[in-house]
Structure 1
Amino acid sequence: MSARPALRGAALLATALVVAGCGSGDDMAPDSGGAASGSSEAFPVTVSTAFGDVTVEEEPTRVVALGWSDAETALALGVQPVGASDWLAVGTDDGLGEWVEQEYDEAPEIIETLEPSFEAIAALEPDLILDTRSSADQERYDLLSEIAPTIGQPEGVGPYQTTWQQQLDLVGQALGRTEEASDLEAEVEQAFTDAAAEHPEFEGTEVAVGAYSSDGFAAYVSGDARVAFMEQLGFQNKAAIEEQATESFFVPVSEEQLNLLDAELTVVFPIFVEASEFTGNPLWQALPSVQQGRAVVLEDTTLLNAFSSASAPGLLYALDNVVPQFADALGG
């Protein structure tokens, strides 16, 4: 297994953020651990984060990428981290999913994401730490910033809820790659625009996006990367799910509440379990959207991770591969 769903943490936070990326920046060959020549003129740069302004004095050459999708975002912008988070490290030596076409010249040191070894990070002697999508914890940030300038999430953004646009902006600034980040953002935005134009039936269609893990079912609310993906295609998250939203980006769904996942389009995926553990459930099979063929179960790990990635590269892969499934389910 070369990729795995990732949102580990408390309950579905441990199961919610499946992330990854595929080569939107494939034509940008990454350097061997630093910014491109000439980009040093951009420094020093000051990046605004939830933890205050962070100044990067010089062009970083030893980057540690801890936040989910930070490493693949840096790669897409042409920079190879010397350390990277482990969210996709199962079966790989570089922490990347199968869809990421860029390669490292030398595999990075893999760092445990949720409880990183600060000693291991310090031993890499980084001059920049990217942690743009993580727990948003002040203690974590303080410890990391003692090692090197650390780029956390934007102000007002909750744990793991940094959008792909915000991530591109933060990473692009910190690496002195703002032009490359802008180009990549435009490419992804255009891909969404094209997909929505090709499928006008998506516009205004009610959708319920959920997951099933050992904790049971859950439904995602606005602010989550998967819901944002659907909304950018024109879908509307089910109002009954939104009404239950708290500060979290998901709501638990008991079997007695399973009708909450019934919508004009239902999209559900398994996390650390087999899909058969819920698709064989009579209550699941009784949902009108399931009976009428309007339910999409995302079982392919690579596609699932890309769909959930909230990274620019991953979104491009997902748009190519998951949009046709949505269209088929809606009879398009």
Structure 2
Amino acid sequence: MQEHKVSSRNRKKLAIPALLPLMLVIMLLAGCGNNSAADNGARNGAAQVNAAAATPSPSPEEEPEATEAPAAQAYPLVVQDELGHEVTLNAAPTKVFAPYMEDSLVVLGVKPVGQWSNKGQGQGYLQDQLGDVPLVDFTNGQLPSPEVVMSLQPDFIVLHNSYYAENGVYEQYSKIAPTYVFQQAAGDLDSSVTKLGELLGKQEEAAKGLADYRKKVEEAKTALAPHIQGKKALVIRFNSRGMFLMGGVYGGFVLAEELGITKSDLVAAENSVDLSLEVLPQIDADYIFLANDTANTGETFYKELTESALWKSIPAVQAGRVYDVDDRYWLGGGIVAYSNVIDDVLEIIVP
């Protein structure tokens, strides 16, 4: 940086002991003028130096500034949930009950006071981290009673979709602890994980988890691109009630919305469609993924489908592009589940 120098006036001593008054006046006026110019020059020079110091010229060797970590959440916190309820948190929650959002809690490093389960089984792919967390029964979609939830002593309850809040459940649960309701948390992970991080004071963990996941998605899309052009995919789910074509939910969401693999026309506008043998000739998918919901005993319908002559006539079946997948995370919702689905898809499709 160049230094801005302000020159000072040269002062001359008067050599003549007595001067004419007129000449004295002229010299005094000239001196005042020089003082003013010097002062202005000093101020201008200092201003230029300060401005240069405040805004240094960019240099190619300089490292870009690191992105600031999200600010710590301040409590008390008053928010409105996605159904319009006002929710007040006086402090960061430490005893959280968020059934079927355990995947997101794991990403945030939070262990809940109880975990969703169906017929005595929690979400299998999370049990290495949640194995010691009490199971709370949600079999057949039945929500636990207020008494069961109260016994967990939560200081915050999160319901992952609006269905869970119906039939007076929200009113009952919100008397136990502040209760936040999502419309459909699994349908928008960026929003739901970010919001959950804000509510729990885990913004930094939420941002990192999402950034890592987005990086994985982009890398997978790049690897898949040469293999999925013009191809369609379909997920078929089996449980005790029947068999269903899955559209934009769970593993189907990852295939279509995250990885960009075109949906079968049969589920182009639906999240789930009942499947019967009569529909099989209409299946237009190049890749078919079978998720047998073992907790809901889908084995009977699985055999009915895969042993039928109509099934064996489908082009994807004849081409050997039918794959049994792990229902524990293909029918789950969250960063961990979706990451596992991506791993499966890459292993199956990319040589």
Shorter-normalised TM range = 0.7 to 0.9
User: Equivalent residue for 1:186?
Assistant: 211
Decide which of 260, 270, 274 is 1:234's aligned counterpart: 260
Task: Tell me the distance in 2 between the aligned counterparts of 1:310 and 1:326.
Answer: 22
Alignment partners' CA distance in 1, 2:126 and 2:237: 22
* Offset at residue 40 of structure 1 (A): 6.4
Instruction: Name the CA distance, whole Å, in 2 between partners of 1:251 and 1:281.
Output: 20
Equivalence map 1:2-151=2 (5 Å): 41=74, 43-66=76-99, 68=100, 70-87=101-118, 89-90=120-121, 95-99=122-126, 101-103=128-130, 107-113=132-138, 114-133=142-161, 135-138=163-166, 139-151=168-180
Q: CA deviation at 1:43?
A: 4.5
C-alpha separation between the residues in 2 aligned to 1:203 and 1:53? 46
The answer to whether structure 1 residue 325 and structure 2 residue 348 are counterparts is yes
- 1:108 maps to amino acid: V
Distance 1:205 1:111 in 2: 41
Q: Shift of residue 203 of structure 1? A: 4.4
Identity over aligned pairs, percent: 23
CA deviation string 1:117-153 (max 9, x = no partner): 2102112221101212463433222221121111211
1:324 Cα deviation after fit:
1.2
Q: Report the Cα distance in structure 1 between the residues aligned to 2:134 and 2:210, rounded to whole angstroms.
A: 28
**Contact 1:218 1:250 (8 Å CA) reproduced:** yes
- Hey, what does 1:207 align to over in structure 2? 233
Larger proportion of helix: 2
User: How many Å separate the matches in 2 of 1:88 and 1:166?
Assistant: 30
SS in 1 for 2:129: coil
Q: Pick which of 261-270 and 181-190 moved more.
A: 261-270
Extract unaligned runs of 5+ from structure 1: 1-37
Kindly indicate whether the alpha-carbon contact (under 8 Å) linking 2:116 and 2:136 is maintained by their aligned counterparts in 1: yes
Amino acid at match of 2:178: P
Q: Of 253, 257, 281, which residue of structure 2 is paired with 1:259? A: 281
Distance 1:264 1:322, change over 3 A: closer
Count of aligned pairs: 270
| SS of alignment partner, residue 119 of structure 1 | helix
RMSD: 2.6
* Structure with bigger RCO (C-alpha 8 Å, 6+ apart): 1
Unaligned runs of 5+ in 2: 1-70
State the match for 1:218 in structure 2: 244
- Shift of residue 166 of structure 1? 3.4
Structure 1 counterpart of 2:93, one-letter code: P
Q: Distance in 2 between matches of 1:65 and 1:190?
A: 26
Return the alpha-carbon distance in structure 1 between the equivalents of residues 246 and 235 of structure 2. Answer: 6
- Is 1:281 equivalent to 2:308 in the alignment? yes
- Distance, in Å, in 2 between the alignment partners of 1:251 and 1:178 is 37
Query: Helix, strand or coil for the counterpart of 1:199?
Result: helix
Whether 2:327 is the aligned partner of 1:297: answer no
Q: Could you state the TM-score of these two structures normalised by the residue count of structure 2?
A: 0.69
Match of 1:33 in 2: none
Alpha carbons 1:205, 1:234 under 8 Å: kept? no
- The alpha-carbon deviation at position 277 of structure 1 amounts to 4.2
Whether the aligned pair in 2 keeps the contact of 1:212 and 1:278 (CA below 8 Å) is no
Maintained 8 Å contact 1:221/1:227: yes
